[in-house]
Structure 1
Amino acid sequence: MYDVVIVGGGAAGFYAAIHVAEARPKIKIAILERGKEVLAKVKVSGGGRCNVTHAEFRPKELASHYPRGERELLGPFHSYASGDTVEFFEKRGVDLKIEEDGRIFPTTDSSQTIINCLTSEAKKLGVQTFLLCSVTGIEPFTEENEKLWHVATTTQTFKTKKLLLATGSNLKVWKMLTQLGHNIITPVPSLFTFNIQDERIKHIPGLSTYAEVTVLDKKKSRRNYQKNSAQSEILFAEGPLLITHWGMSGPAILRLSAWGARILESYNYSFRIKVNWVPEYHSDGLLELFMKVKQVEKKTILRTKIVDVPKRLWASLVRASGISDKLTWPEVSKIQLQELANQLTSGLFHVNGKSTFKEEFVTAGGVDLKDINFKTYESKIQPNLYFAGEILNIDAITGGFNFQNAWTGGFIAAQGIVNGLSEIGENE
């Protein structure tokens, strides 16, 4: 008999185990991990550096980075948020640093630092970890008027008083939960890059610039960007945009993929975006600037970059506007300059497919948030069953927010478990 069984040896599972063990040193805790190693997602996150959390320390603003879960996380973030996470790791000898964009990493720039901290802490506290231990069944039962759980796995069956599921995006576990009465929101990809085959960006991979990006309503958008009304613009984001060999990525694109996860899935990942490469301008204002330059500049348009965009992008869009490399400002027509202004402020690109963002696969979907008591992260349907992490219908944009959801959920679930154990007693 275990006091607590945690299914899932990831960030949320280990964090919960550590906090339960610290509060109740004598109880038996087991972590069941289906893989051959724990904390696999921590290992690859942030390009192997582990983006631990984000330097947003105000609960309301922190919650605003979650397309799914914003309202539900507000209370939990008042109890446990980014500052608490930083304190947890620094108290255990892990020095952290805040980068310019607010992301927080270990100063070692190695995710292994975080893994070592969590695994050594769990081991020190007596938490047992079972690898290659895949769950095959979850069943509640009653013994001496106490609601307990049987957890069947590929290696053995565990009996426990409290069960915490921190399995991430696991279709098999979600199916088990459906049979236990939980509602599962169908999962769809949340963080992904856009596949775009377009001559304007084909030869400039690796280029990064600040841009505004709008997803156009597939039902309302027109081919001519002059006719696109504001009503056809359904998703908007701004920030660094990275041109890749397969299309577009970077924070602006990833924000759109997170906030538009379900809409873009309904489009079967075939839709159009409008990009403003010079957010400080609109088409008419830029044309007006071009006409003034035309009166005084004698060089070729290709060699005269008069707006703040990378040179290679300027050259690509000049050529896409039908302007030859040798055409000078005095020779260019107003129609050609209008086309260049349009390319710079409202260029249309067709997205046809998606690519996973590095190895940090995140989904929108999971256990319906209406089924959860967010004061304890306990199920409202099954007593003594708790959840933490991405198994719930919670996900965030990039920047350390998805890990913060794991830390917060793991901590509050641990408090709920500890308080529950104090009520029903514990193994001595």
Structure 2
Amino acid sequence: MNQDFDIIIVGGGAAGFFTAINIVEKNPKLKVALLERGAEVLQKVRISGGGRCNVTHACFEPNELVKYYPRGEKELRGPFHQFSSGDTIEWFEKHGVELKIEDDGRMFPVSNSSQSIIDCFLEATQKLGIKVLTGQSVQSIFKKENVWKIETQNENYIAEKLILATGSNPKIWEILQTYGHAIVSPVPSLFTFNIKDARIKELPGVAAQVTVKVKDTKLESTGPLLITHWGMSGPAVLKLSAWGARILHDKNYQFTILVNWLNDVDATDAEKKLKELKQEHAKKAVSKKSPFDFPNRLWESLVLASGIETETKWADLSKTQLQNLSNQLTNATFQVNGKSTFKEEFVTAGGIDLKEINFKTMESKLHENLYFAGEIVNIDAITGGFNFQNAWTSGFILANAI
């Protein structure tokens, strides 16, 4: 027996739900079903942002917002002019979920719980009569005349329009390739760097505002860096991992980074500053107190790494030691050997080639009545609520188009 619907949405995550709700709100007569392969819907929403759900980011200017997307920057400009972070806030408020802005610009439900978002979506689908069907793993998709036939392991569905919101699901990508769609092969984005180095071994939990570069590439990023038990993390590193997703994958995650612990001060200026300190604090021990805006423990470690003993006084520093120290401060090299996934915020770079999608409607350029929402396409962002914003925007545009 075939189950007939006007629209089938495959994928019970953020993009799937948001799309379904917006479609039926604009068009209550449509019969819409959401198919989810797991036993539970909205799993990624539940764990995102440490269980608080980082809904969006307080960046309200579309031309600024696109800069957070290593893949999709150009394509999202138009869509963000139609539905941006401000619209997201308004949409959720209208649906009973108030959002708040944190110091770093990330936005969360006032309740501090992702359950608020899940409840909002589940109540809306119920109220609108959208069928949410779990345990439906799509096995095949057929196009017949002007309808789509979707087979799961235990049911057959027929729909006039098909929306795929399956994130990085390789099975669906494979099916799409048989329909002529090009898939940009997925590689991890957002990961932390594994580094074994005496300078940072005893410093887990220490953070500093830095500039970090990947040697022999153009990759560079600025922001907070966090030293962890296995290496380095924090926004500066995660940003680098997103922008360098392809390059670092090709290097097999073996590469060298250069860290400037003084952020934008270069070696020459650092040396000048150290010479001034040598005059001012002649009688004091160099390693005792950090003269810069980062923790003492880090300063002490860099002093030792420059070949300066713990008790050495400023007055006794040789020219070579000063140079070594300014080098450790502004141009410290670290070997990266492998990566670790960043919490549950697993994001991949890869997906449907962006050239094959009409970004005014989110419809496939190759097949009529086939649409895409969310991370199934080759768009991804750095951490901070941007990946969700892409889900909301693509869902909204798609719903409008339909």
Q: TM-score over 0.5 for the alignment?
A: yes
1:105 equivalent to 2:125? Answer: no
- Secondary structure of the equivalent of 1:70? coil
Residue 197 of structure 2 corresponds to which residue in structure 1? 198
Deviations 1:274-328 (A, max 9, x none): 0001124211211122122222321110113211111111011111111111111
Opposite residue 41 of structure 2, the aligned amino acid is V
Opposite residue 76 of structure 1, the aligned amino acid is P
Separation in 1 of the partners of 2:6 and 2:69?
A: 33
Give the share of equivalent positions with the same residue, in percent.
59
Separation in 1 of the partners of 2:97 and 2:267?
A: 50
1:350 equivalent to 2:353? Answer: no
- Secondary structure of the equivalent of 1:38? coil
- Secondary structure of the equivalent of 1:69? coil
Change (3 A) 1:179 1:280: closer
Displacement, 1:28?
1.2
Separation in 1 of the partners of 2:24 and 2:306?
A: 65
Deviations 1:337-390 (A, max 9, x none): 211111010000011111111111111110011111111100110111000000
Separation in 1 of the partners of 2:191 and 2:244?
A: 11
Opposite residue 293 of structure 2, the aligned amino acid is D
Q: How does 1:384-399 map to 2 (within 5 A)?
A: 384-399=369-384
Superposition RMSD in Å: 0.9
Residue 223 of structure 1 corresponds to which residue in structure 2? none
Q: How does 1:290-305 map to 2 (within 5 A)?
A: 290-297=274-281, 298-305=283-290
Opposite residue 12 of structure 1, the aligned amino acid is A
Residue 66 of structure 2 corresponds to which residue in structure 1? 63
- Secondary structure of the equivalent of 1:295? helix
TM-score (ref. length: structure 2): 0.97
Residue 162 of structure 1 corresponds to which residue in structure 2? 161
Is this contact kept in 2: 1:274–1:346, CA < 8 A?
yes
Separation in 2 of the partners of 1:363 and 1:48?
A: 20
1:8 equivalent to 2:34? Answer: no
Separation in 1 of the partners of 2:280 and 2:100?
A: 49
Indicate which of 90, 95, 98 corresponds to 2:93.
90
- Secondary structure of the equivalent of 1:301? coil
Residue 286 of structure 1 corresponds to which residue in structure 2? 270
Displacement, 1:155?
1.9
Residue 227 of structure 1 corresponds to which residue in structure 2? none
Residue 403 of structure 1 corresponds to which residue in structure 2? 388
Separation in 2 of the partners of 1:280 and 1:348?
A: 16
Separation in 1 of the partners of 2:102 and 2:13?
A: 24
Count of residues in Structure 1 that have an aligned counterpart in Structure 2: 398
Instruction: Tell me whether 25-34 or 160-169 shows the greater mean CA deviation.
Output: 25-34
Separation in 2 of the partners of 1:125 and 1:248?
A: 46
Opposite residue 34 of structure 1, the aligned amino acid is R
Is this contact kept in 2: 1:151–1:157, CA < 8 A?
yes
Separation in 1 of the partners of 2:105 and 2:289?
A: 35
Is this contact kept in 2: 1:291–1:334, CA < 8 A?
no
Indicate which of 306, 312, 325 corresponds to 2:297.
312
Separation in 1 of the partners of 2:284 and 2:335?
A: 33
1:381 equivalent to 2:366? Answer: yes
Is this contact kept in 1: 2:211–2:236, CA < 8 A?
yes
- Secondary structure of the equivalent of 1:78? helix
Residue 150 of structure 1 corresponds to which residue in structure 2? 149
Residue 270 of structure 1 corresponds to which residue in structure 2? 254
Residue 79 of structure 1 corresponds to which residue in structure 2? 82
Separation in 2 of the partners of 1:296 and 1:41?
A: 55
TM-score (ref. length: structure 1): 0.92
Displacement, 1:188?
0.6
Opposite residue 254 of structure 1, the aligned amino acid is L
Separation in 2 of the partners of 1:305 and 1:23?
A: 60
Structure 1, unaligned stretches of length 5 or more? 218-232, 418-428
